[in-house]
Structure formats: structure tokens, C-alpha cells
Structure 1
Amino acid sequence: MRHSLDVFRLIIDVESPVFIGNGSEISKKEYLQLRGGQLAILDIEKLYMYLKKRHMEDAFEAFMLKKEKESLEQWFYNMHLKTEDVKDCFKYIVKSDSVSLQKGTPQQIFPFVKDPYGKPYVPGSSVKGMLRTILLGADIIQNSEKYACEARYFEKNLKESHPRNRKLLNQDILKIEAMRFRYLNRSENSRDAVHDALSGCVISDSDPLDIKDLVVCQRIEKHVDGKERRLNVLRECLKPGTHICCSMTLDRSLCQLKPDEVKNAVAIFGKRYYDDYMRKFPSKIAYAKDRVFLGGGCGFVSKTIVYPMFPGMKGVRVTQEIFEKKGVPRKHMHDRDLEYGVSPHILKCTSLQKQLMPMGACRLRLEN
């Protein structure tokens, strides 16, 4: 049987830093600070071989194994080594912008995901996961009566659940997803993932990007009252102006999704996200019908369907209760979310060229 395939070009224009990690860390013993706000990430094997030629391998091994918080830069200074001496050991150089760290604390960097050739890229699974949440959220907003029964069960199970339950509401969310996506008759088990219509939507990994598209950004928490808190967390992020290009292939025997449906869902989901969450924080980012939030550090609201299902203050109360039941530490003060009128009451941000901006803001385009 011949399948009809429609292929579209999906372009995501980065507005504020986007972070998608590879699950590893670059410790402060693996990079050097350069002039001009740049960081050099070292190839440790090459560095070791260079030091071995200078009979310094024992000192280097001792440095790498000891638990003290000495950085590679400090060790170089103590060993009378110059950055210029180890240029051939650089893996790559990345720009660092508006970083302000507390001294004496670990300053590891969370690297961006890269292909086998060392090029950063955006996995198609990250883009598809974002679109799946948007499509589901928009359908809930447009057809609230359709999901009314599941919303009541959601609230009931939340109230009756045990504290510190890490799998809280997983089954409820799967049922809600099934109502939107699992309508294919491909097996007898109605909960089987083979029924999912989005199995007919394949989004490729992005075209390879360049190391020059990366910038190291610091995590900043912006409180709803306007206060800012800088954390000693550094991430390699795609910088504003980067264009993420993927292909979206739709198997028409399984998936009837249309480009206009995607664009409309982005506008509807984004409006609820802005009205119930983003506008509560002082920010220069206004609502835009084609805006999406991609990657890590965007926060709870952009990745869940709580506010689409429970708009306004009801969403604040439900979100607060989710944090409480999941055992989020009391130091985060989610017990005051109702008082603040938003939950969570922290917007995850970063700073570039001394301008504060939320993480992961992008504009989405679909082309034939």
C-alpha cells in the first residue's frame, strides 16, 4: 500500500538563549577563561600528553583527583603555565556573556548536545515534544467540555495522592493525551502507543549548527516582585539570531495534521501561557502568536497542560498543590504562590549583553 507523505520545512528562530543538554558536565578543571569574555574547553587527553612531554603528568593527575575547588586556571598559574602554551589542546572556544559568579564555588558548565563531529544540533525529539504539548494544550483550551471529566479526576487524584510521589498524575496525563492523539485502530489495547496519530509525524534532527552559535549563559531566577537571583549554573546555549531548521514529514495514512493547525495551536497555547503566567513578571517579551518556548530552563508552565486545563487562579492553586505533593523543598516557598497570584512565582531567565530575558523564547515558521 502506498503512503502519501507531505514534507514541510520547520524553522525555529531563536529570540533568547535555548539550552538542550547532553547530560554531561564540564568541570572547572576542564576549561580556561580567555580574554574578551571567552572560554576555552580543553581536550583533556591532548592536555595530558602535552604535560607528559614536560614531565608534569604526576602533578596534573594529582590536581585532577583532589577534591579541592581549584580551577584549571588557578593550577596553570601555580605551575607557571600560559594559556598560549596549550592552544593545540583546545577542543573549542565559546563566548561567555554577562556571567557573574560567587567566588569559591563550583562553576561547572552544562554543555549543549552535539553530533559526532562536535557540531551543536537540536534533536527532533525535543521539537516534537514541544509541539505535542502545544497541540494538546490548545485542544484542551478550545474544547474544555471534552476534557471536563478528566479534569475533575485530575483534581481528585491530586488531593488524594501521597506526598513526595515522583510519579504523581502520570496515569491521568496519559489518559488526557490518549483523548487527543490515540485514535488509530492498530491493536486491541486502546492504551497502546501504536494508536498515537503523532506516530505519523516525524521531525528530523536539525541541520548542524556551529560552535559560533553557542554562548555560555548563567541561570537567573526572576521573582514576581522583580527581584533577581543569580545562580552558579552555567549552560551552553544557542544565542539569539540562530535559525534551527528541521524537516517535518507527515504520513497521511496516520496523521492528518495540517500546518495551519500547528500555527493556530501555537497561537492559542501561547496566549494562555502569556495571560496566566508570563505577563505576571516584568519582561520585555510581549505576546506573539508564533512564539514557542524550547529546551531546558523554560520552566514548568511551558511544558505542561495545567494552565490550559485550569485557567486563572485555579491553575495557580493546582500548580501549587502539585509542587507540594511532589515534595519540592519549602525553601522555594510555593506555599505563597496564591498570595503572589502565579505559580511558580519564579521566571527562569538569563542575561545577554546586560539584558535580562526568559530562557528558550523562539518564533516558529512552517514552509512547504
Structure 2
Amino acid sequence: DAMIKTEKWEHKTYELTCISPIHIGNGELLKQYEYIFTKDRNQQRVYFLDKAKWMTFLVRHNLIDDYAQSVFSGRMNLYGWLQSQRIGSLSAIIREVCNASADVYLVRERQQRVNDISRQVKTPDGIPYIPGSTLKGAIRSAILFHDIRQHPEAYLPFWNRIKAAMEARNRRQMRDLAQNIERQAFTRLKQQKNRPDDALQSVMKGLAVSDAMLVGHERDTVILQKYDVSSIRREGLKGHPLALFRECIPAGRKFRFSMTLDKDIARLIGITSLDDVWQWVRDYLAFGLAQERGVFGHEYKGEFEESKLADIRLGGGTGFLSKTVYYALAPKGEGRTVLANFFDDVLFTRRNCHHHKTKDDRLTPRTLKLAWADNDRWILGLAAVKEVASC
């Protein structure tokens, strides 16, 4: 047993299994002229360009000007453009200029094309992984949620200020309040020489989380269409396939990572062990899923049944403070109304964009993020985590 058996430190290794596809973006958004999309009766596939090889190819065939002109002309499809150049077989070109590929699953078979693709974070040699910062961010939200639930009286003053900021539609004040709430939860260590520094004083210093690296050799990814289901009063549930595609880690992939806890620091926020941390993470996920199940559970029974296996939800933007944390802050009954106003008037100001106020029954925001591949359907971003013996 390689566990560090000291009073102060606890160290464990974990295996994470993707219950549903997971997308952790690397910040790169590919346009249609930056990848090759092929489609036949049985398979749709995207081939990713190796930028250096692609430039070499364009220079060798004297195509840089033509390519640039086509890009600036508007909606350019690289597959069609390459075919029109008549410079050899497409499969030979793909072998020469591409360094990775992924199967594509469209929600609607009618849709013939792929739009922008958000890339998955990978190692320099192209292997998908889950950054430790992503795991730690999800854990951090769970700890914040738990602290608010345990000490509501400490956070109650924030709620009235949040309500006022929401009613005044003051986004900057909302962000400042969100930072203050986090400071209240995490800033437990003494200041160094009277220099306030949130990172140095944060109890999160007491938790180290490694990157989660792939177990096994299947490094393939899949391209899934963003699909949100909305709950609309009187109209039931409506699904929207959106014109954004995400490169995802497929369901079933396994990853290994480790965590180290400084128990002296963690104790300041009521954590005595890594098992405590994971219990809080599970409670946080269960609360969020229960909110969603109340609205979507009847229609998506199987997906919610499968979600019971999950310990954590990863990826997918949830804003600067997640709705689950806001729910924990709000006194019972007040949360929905105030949050509905806020999401309508402040976050979604485009006309006809969301209409939470008039249409939401029980949940704000009112969307469930799903992933589809062939006949499979999941709640996006769910993973199970179990302790394993460190090697």
C-alpha cells in the first residue's frame, strides 16, 4: 500500500470512468475551412489539419492565394474546395496533411454539414486528458455549495445584496459579490505579512489534484452536436440541436489521477479526509441532478437512471457561479423568482432569447445538456470515480 501514512497528508489514486461523453475545451474553435468533413452512407468523419503540413501543402501546390480568397469569400467547405482543385485523391491528401480524425454524430440526419467545432484538450502528442484544474474547479464548487448549506447564516447577508444586484441588472456587482462569496468560503489561512492574496490564503491550497491521464490505447474522440432541452410551460419539453459541435471523450473511457490533501489546512473548512471531499462532490451533483430531474425526469427516465452512477459532472460552461450554488444561497421559495428575473433580464438580453420568467415552472436556467451518438443519449459530462491502489 503506497498511501502516505502521516498525520498531516493523505494521498490517494483514483480511476475516473466517463459515464457519458465529456468535453473539456482547449479554447480552440475550428471553422469549416480548418478541417475536412467527409460523409458517406455509413459514416461521417472530421479530419483535423496539421497546420505546418497544411501550409507546406498549399505552398507546394501554389494554392495559398486561392485558399485565402475562398476563406474570405464566406462559408467555405474545405472538402468541396479540395475536390474542385483536382490535385489528386482526397484520401492521399488527408494522409498527407491531417494528424487526427473523429467520427461525427449529427442529431438530425437531415443536417448535411458541420459548423464550428470546439476542440477537446489533449497532450502535445494528441491524447485526450482531463486537466487537474478542471477536476479541482468542480470540487471547489462542491465545497462552496457545502459550506453555504452548512452555514446559511454566514451567507444570508449576501443573498439580499445579490437580489438587489440582480434587480438592478448590475453584472459587475454580481461578479464582485460572487468573488466575495468565494472569499468567505475559502479564505481561511492567515495573511502573509498583511498582504491579502486570495490564492495564498485559500484553503484550496490544501488540495492538490493531478491531471487525469488516459488508461489504455483508445485515443479516439467523437464530434457531438450541442443539444439542449428546454422546459417550457404549456409547451412541454423542447429540444434544440445547436450549430455548435464539440469534440468529446467518448463514454466508457477510463482515466487515472491522484489527489493529495493537507489535512491541517482542509480542517479549516471542515474536511478531515479525501473521502469527505468526494462525499461533498457527490452531494453537490445529486442536488443539481435532483433539480433537473424534477423538470426533465419523466421524459428522460433512462438518462437520469444512468446519472445515479455518477460522482462528478465535468465540462460545459456553467457561468461564473453555478445555478446550484445560487439555489443553496437563496431562502426557500425566493430562489426561482429572483433567478428567473436575473437570467431573463441580465444574462440573456437578446429578444426572444430565453424567457425564463414567463415559462419556467421549477428550475432556472431551464435547460438540460444532452449528448447524442447514433441511438445513444446521455446527460453530458458525467463521470464515476473510484479509489484504486496506486501503482
Question: TM-score w.r.t. structure 2 length?
Answer: 0.81
TM-score by length of 1: 0.86
The structural deviation recorded for 1:52 is 4.0
Instruction: Map 1:49-88; keep pairs closer than 5 Å.
Output: 49-64=56-71, 66-80=72-86, 81-86=88-93, 87-88=95-96
Matched residue, 2:153: 145
3-state SS of the aligned residue for 2:76? coil
Q: Hey, what does 1:212 align to over in structure 2?
A: 219
Q: In the TM superposition, what are the counterparts of 1:203-352 in structure 2 within 5 Å?
A: 203-208=209-214, 212-224=219-231, 225-256=236-267, 257=271, 258-281=273-296, 282-283=299-300, 284-286=303-305, 288=308, 290-297=310-317, 304-310=324-330, 313-328=333-348, 329-336=350-357, 339-352=360-373
Q: In 2, distance between residues paired with 1:21 and 1:182? A: 29
Any conservation in 2 of the 1:276–1:312 contact (CA below 8 Å)?
no
Listed one character per residue, the Cα deviations across residues 194-247 of structure 1 (whole Å, up to 9, x for unaligned) are 221111211112225767341101011212222211111011011111123221
Alpha-carbon distance, 1:74 to partner: 1.0
Kindly indicate whether the alpha-carbon contact (under 8 Å) linking 1:221 and 1:347 is maintained by their aligned counterparts in 2. Answer: yes
Amino acid at match of 1:169: M
Q: CA deviation at 1:252?
A: 3.5
Equivalent residues in 2 for 1:53-202 (5 A)?
53-64=60-71, 66-80=72-86, 81-86=88-93, 87-100=95-108, 107-159=115-167, 161=168, 163=169, 165-187=170-192, 188=194, 192-202=198-208
Percent identity of the aligned residues? 23
8 Å contact from structure 1 (residues 276, 311) kept in 2: no
CA gap of 1:301–1:317, structure 2 versus 1, over 3 A, is: farther
2:9 to 5, 8, 11: 5
Q: Secondary structure of the residue that 1:23 maps to in structure 2?
A: strand
Using the TM superposition, name which of 318-327 and 126-135 deviates more.
318-327
Indicate the SS of the match to 1:186.
coil
Bigger mean CA offset, 173-182 vs 129-138: 173-182
The residue matched to 1:246 in structure 2 has which SS?
Answer: strand
One-letter amino acid matched to 1:334: H
Residues 58, 289 of structure 1: CA spacing in aligned structure 2 closer, same or farther, 3 A cutoff?
A: closer
Q: RMSD value over aligned CA atoms?
A: 3.0
Cα distance change, pair 145–26 in 1 and its aligned pair in 2 (3 A) = same
Q: CA deviation at 1:270?
A: 2.4
Mapped pair 1:25 → 2:44: no
Instruction: Compute the displacement of 1:137 (Å).
Output: 0.7
- How many residue pairs end up in the alignment? 363
Relative to structure 1, is the Cα distance of residues 298 and 100 closer, same or farther in structure 2, using a 3 angstrom cutoff?
Answer: farther
Q: 2:97, 2:118 → 1: CA distance? A: 20
Instruction: Provide the rounded CA distance (Å) in 1 between the counterparts of 2:135 and 2:380.
Output: 15
Which ranges of structure 2 fall in alignment gaps of 5 or more residues?
1-5
In the alignment, structure 1 segments of 5+ residues that lack a partner are none
Residue 364 of structure 1: CA displacement?
Answer: 2.7
Q: Deviations over 1:252-282 (max 9, x none)?
A: 3433431221122123222321232343113
Of residues 116-125 and 148-157 in structure 1, the stretch that sits farther from structure 2 once superposed is 148-157
Deviation of 1:326 after TM superposition, in Å, equals 2.5
